[in-house]
Structure formats: structure tokens, C-alpha cells
Amino acid sequence: MSAPIYIVLGLPESGRRDLVLDLVDNGLDKGTPVTLIHGEGVRSDLAQDRLLQKSYPVSVKTFKFKDGKFSGLPEPDDKGVWFLLPDSREDLIDQMQALRDWFQKRNITPARILLTVHCALAAEKPLAEEWHEAAVHFSDYVFLNRREGLAPDWIKAFEKKFKDLRIPARFERLKKGAAKNPAMVLLPEARRMSLIFDDLDPIDTLEIDEDNLPEEPFDLTVKEDPYFERMRGGRRVKQVPKPKDFLPEQYVPKSL
């Protein structure tokens, strides 16, 4: 059995590694081996440095993402717990589709997908808010972070938007990078809207009555995730802003 792998989404400075540090410190048994995986060229921060100073075994791996593919992702093993941080400077949807393929080829499923929301950036830049809306679609647990200086009304409106859409993911406001109940966060319970990591029977995706099947033929192909759908020319049906279009310049790699 593979070690549980948690995918942690979030933009630069959103506090992803602060969250990981809190989950490791307060949600795992002491001595549990931890593997942190992030994009090559993404600089470490204080949270990562503190993680490496712990007494339990911690290893850091890096990957590259280019032309829609990952290289350097380690092969899963059964040791400890893994935290995989997609490169927040690269295209979110391309990476999620590549991760779907990577997990499927190994016949494993992520334990959970977590998201740290950079509220200040989302409030300042509409494109960043759109990016977060797409990220919520893939997430089981959404943490509102970087709320300094924001009016409470903006935060309430952001939360209400997803409540009105009946998004099943849990929402929580981080306090100093800490979750209310780290052990609960780590429970391997899927609450995401997206079904890209689920092993689906096509019949289960059809909105039909099994006791009264329609006479006309119906398609048993599992529908593609709405964010992965493409038009005939290759353009995605749902357009998600690319980080290079809204991130501060210091966070955008020259390759973008």
C-alpha cells in the first residue's frame, strides 16, 4: 500500500508550507517519516526550514513541470506521509490533469487535496480570485489565509459564494497558519467536486432510473471533468487564468 499523498494547492506566499508544518507537528504520530515534494526552483521558506530541523525523518524532493508533464516525481512507497505541492507558478489545470494521469497509472488515489487561499491577492486581483474558484473545484479542504487588512464582508462573500453553489469541500479560516483540528484535516475523506481521481463505473455517472432504463441508446463514456474539456481546436472550454497573468513579477519563472 502506498503512503498517503496529500496534494496541497495554493499560490506563492499563501502559507502552504506553514499548513504542512502544522499538520506534521499536530496531526501525525511523532516519528512519522515525511516527504515534501515541490517544484524545482521554488525557494524554501521559514516553514520548510523548521520542518527540516525536526527530530523525525524529513526528505525534500523536487520536480519539473514542462509541456504538460511532470519529471522527477518520486515513485510512491509505503513510508510515512507525502505532501505534494504543485508548482503555483505554472498552469493549475495542466498540472491537475497530469497528476490525474500520474495517479491513475500507479493505481493510487490522493488521500486529500488541500487548498490555502491567498485572500489578500484574491481581493486585489479578480484573475487571482478566478484561479481560486477553479482550485476549490478540485479541493476537499479549503483554508482561508492571508486575510490581513481585508474587510470581513469580503471574506464572508467569498465563503457564501461556494456555500450557495453547494460545494462539499470544508472551509476553514487559518489562524497563524494553524488548522483547528489537524488530525481531522488528514482524514482521507473525499469532499471535492471533481471526480478526476475516482474510479467510476460509467453507469453511476448517468442520471437515469436503473429500474426504468430509456429505450434509446445512451453514452456510457465517463464525462470529462469540466475544467479538462476542450473545444475542437484544442482550447479549453473553461478558461482559468494563468499565474503569469496576475502574480507579482518576482514569482513568475522566466520560462513562462
Report pLDDT for 1.
80
List of residues 6+ apart from 150 with CB closer than 8 A: 119, 120, 123
Copy the grid coordinates of residue 247. Answer: 502574480
Q: What is the pLDDT of residue 255?
A: 42
Query: Is the distance from CB of 43 to CB of 144 less than 8 angstroms?
Result: no
Condensed to tens digits (0 to 9), the pLDDT of residues 43-88 reads 889 999 999 998 789 999 999 999 999 999 999 999 999 999 999 9
pLDDT greater than 90 at residue 212 = no
**Average pLDDT value for residue range 116-144:** 98
**pLDDT recorded at residue 223:** 85
Contact between 39 and 87 under an 8 Å Cβ cutoff? The reply is: yes
Is residue 95's pLDDT more than 70? yes
Mean pLDDT to the nearest integer, 85-114: 97
Report the percent of the chain where pLDDT is more than 70.
89
Beta carbons of 65 and 77 less than 8 angstroms apart: no
- Rounded mean pLDDT, 186-200: 93
Sign of CA pseudo-dihedral 15, 17, 18, 19: positive
Q: Between 100 and 256, name the one with better pLDDT.
A: 100
Phi and psi at residue 167, in whole multiples of 5°? -70, 125
The more confidently predicted of residues 25 and 220 is: 25
CATH for 5-199+234-251 is 3.40.50
> Quick one: pLDDT band at residue 256, thresholds 50, 70, 90?
very low
Distance separating alpha carbons of residues 135 and 141, to the nearest angstrom: 11
Average pLDDT over residues 137-152: 96
Asked if the model's pLDDT at residue 213 lies above 50, the reply is: yes
Q: Measured between alpha carbons, how far apart are the two ends of the chain, in Å?
A: 37
Q: Which set of grid coordinates corresponds to residue 17?
A: 508550507
214-251 tens-digit pLDDT? 666 555 566 899 999 999 999 999 999 999 999 988 77
Residue 230 is predicted with a pLDDT of 96
List the domain boundaries for the chain. Answer: 5-199+234-251
Q: Which pTM does this prediction carry?
A: 0.91
Going by C-alpha positions, the residue among 40, 41, 58 that lies closest to residue 49 is: 58
